Amino acid sequence: MSGIMHVLVTGGAGFIGNHFCRRLLAEGHKVTAIDNFLTSSPDNIADLFGKDFTFIHYDVTHFVHVPGPLDAVVHLASPASPVDYLAHPIHTLKLGSLGTHNLLGLAKAKKARFLLASTSEIYGDPLVHPQPESYWGNVNPIGIRGVYDEAKRFAEAIAMAYYRAHDLDVKIARIFNTYGPKMRLQDGRVVPNFIGQALRGNPLTIYGDGKQTRSFGYVDDLVEGLLRLLQSDFHGPMNLGNPNEFTVLELADLVLELTKTESKKEYAPLPADDPKLRRPDISLAIRVLGWEPKVELRQGLEKTIRWFSHRLDLIPNA
Ligand code: UDP
């Protein structure tokens, strides 16, 4: 799809949603954002109000009404950090299920395309590595992370049902670990945790032995992938992430080097069901979208550290 779109973005005040809204506005599109500020902040949208940006303060687990035509519905609203979804387990399940259903219904009524933010968590603690879209995953449905994993698995299932039953133009982005400015320092994920700890000279908390791996993608790369996916004719799930894989210990050492701090490393128990390995197979995105991440971890961390270092005094010490 080319030309100017009117896009509804849920989670528009959150980390990825806010970056995505800004990118859409920069490309000349019209954006209506929805958010209930459960894990996000009105500060993120304060400078966006204008003729092309509208905001609705709303919880999408209830029936969603948006007046006028829409070209696309992009459902990014959800707690996404393990700490957040463990704090809001039932709401996380409702956002993936009821929220996705409401937004699919809206997209169908408006004859709009639908982009769902899914996650690498749907692969659980993977037995196939790296993870291609064809892998069905290894999820503990009743474990503590199940509230997020199963919410997103249900969201994918109902989105594909709308594609098959109603011919809705459905795209599903399976988003791998993403970091960058506008994350909340206290959101509990490893990148903001380590940066905050290092900048304050506190010990970096390594869960388990730190040999578990993740593949960290910079938010600008992700937003480019989301936009290309939204504008493509592709249907179904697609991995979006950076395939460069690091252990948590390697990440800690890089944060220590870049922040030039004397912080030590401190070991803490590994949370239940914490995946041991994670790396996306992105051959589908390369082939279909011509998309590949460009920002190396070192470069992305430098930008993120710079952003956090200017805001540290505004955020309470955890
Ligand atoms: N982790 C850690 N220290 C922290 C926070 C997280 O060692 O202070 C580990 C966590 O156990 C996991 C990895 O870092 O293995 C990534 O965790 P995160 O919460 O960022 O996201 P996940 O990929 O687990 O959803």
* Ligand 1 atom closest to residue 270's alpha carbon, by position in its atom list: 11
Residue at 112: amino acid letter: A
Distance between CA atoms of 150 and 157, rounded to whole angstroms? 10
Rounded to the nearest whole angstrom, what is the distance from the C-alpha of residue 269 to the centroid of ligand 1?
11
> Does 254 map to a domain?
no
Cβ–ligand 1 distance for 198 under 6 Å, the answer no
> Does 294 map to a domain?
no
Distance between CA atoms of 13 and 267, rounded to whole angstroms? 33
> Does 136 map to a domain?
yes
Q: What burial letters (b/e) apply to 74-87, b meaning 16+ CB within 10 Å? A: bbbbbbbbbbbbbe
Q: Is the pLDDT of residue 318 over 60?
A: no
Atom 17 of ligand 1, residue of closest alpha carbon: 190
Strand ranges inside 235-278, DSSP E: 236-240, 245-247, 265-268
- Here the CATH number for the domain that contains residue 150 is 3.40.50.720
How many structural domains is the chain composed of?
A: 1
Whole-number pLDDT of residue 315: 64
Cβ–ligand 1 distance for 192 under 6 Å, the answer no
Whole-number pLDDT of residue 240: 98
Rounded to the nearest whole angstrom, what is the distance from the C-alpha of residue 213 to the centroid of ligand 1?
9
Distance between CA atoms of 9 and 185, rounded to whole angstroms? 23
Whole-number pLDDT of residue 312: 77
Cβ–ligand 1 distance for 212 under 6 Å, the answer yes
Q: Is the pLDDT of residue 148 over 70?
A: yes
Residues 35, 12 contacting (CB under 8 angstroms): yes
Helix (H, G, I), strand (E, B) or coil at 71: coil
Whole-number pLDDT of residue 1: 63
Cβ–ligand 1 distance for 248 under 6 Å, the answer yes
> Does 34 map to a domain?
yes
* Residues spanned by the domain of 167: 6-179+217-240
Cβ–ligand 1 distance for 41 under 6 Å, the answer no
Nearest to 10 by CA among 32, 41, 43, 40: 32
316 band by pLDDT with thresholds 50, 70 and 90? low
Mean pLDDT, all residues of the chain = 96
pLDDT mean over 158-178: 98
205 beta partners: 266
* Ligand 1 atom closest to residue 193's alpha carbon, by position in its atom list: 8
311 band by pLDDT with thresholds 50, 70 and 90? confident
> Does 222 map to a domain?
yes
Cβ–ligand 1 distance for 271 under 6 Å, the answer yes
Q: Is the pLDDT of residue 3 over 70?
A: yes
**What is the Cα 309 distance to its own chain's centre?**
22
pLDDT digits (tens, 9 = 90+) for 43-75: 999 999 999 999 999 999 999 999 999 999 999
Distance between CA atoms of 124 and 146, rounded to whole angstroms? 9
Distance between CA atoms of 29 and 21, rounded to whole angstroms? 9
> Does 161 map to a domain?
yes
Residues 186, 40 contacting (CB under 8 angstroms): no
58 as an active site residue: the answer is no
Nearest to 187 by CA among 304, 276, 73: 304
Rounded to the nearest whole angstrom, what is the distance from the C-alpha of residue 286 to the centroid of ligand 1?
27
Cβ–ligand 1 distance for 118 under 6 Å, the answer no
pLDDT mean over 175-189: 95
Whole-number pLDDT of residue 205: 98
Q: Is the pLDDT of residue 201 over 90?
A: yes
Burial of 141 (0-12, 13-18, 19+ CB in 10 A): exposed
pLDDT mean over 251-268: 97
The token pair that represents 317 in the structure block = 């010490």
Percent of the chain with pLDDT over 70: 97
pLDDT mean over 269-280: 97
pLDDT digits (tens, 9 = 90+) for 225-242: 999 999 999 999 999 999
| Marked catalytic residue, from 85, 123, 148, 163 | 148
Atom 24 of ligand 1, residue of closest alpha carbon: 274
pTM: 0.97
Residues 146, 124 contacting (CB under 8 angstroms): no
Helix (H, G, I), strand (E, B) or coil at 230: helix
Residues 211, 247 contacting (CB under 8 angstroms): yes
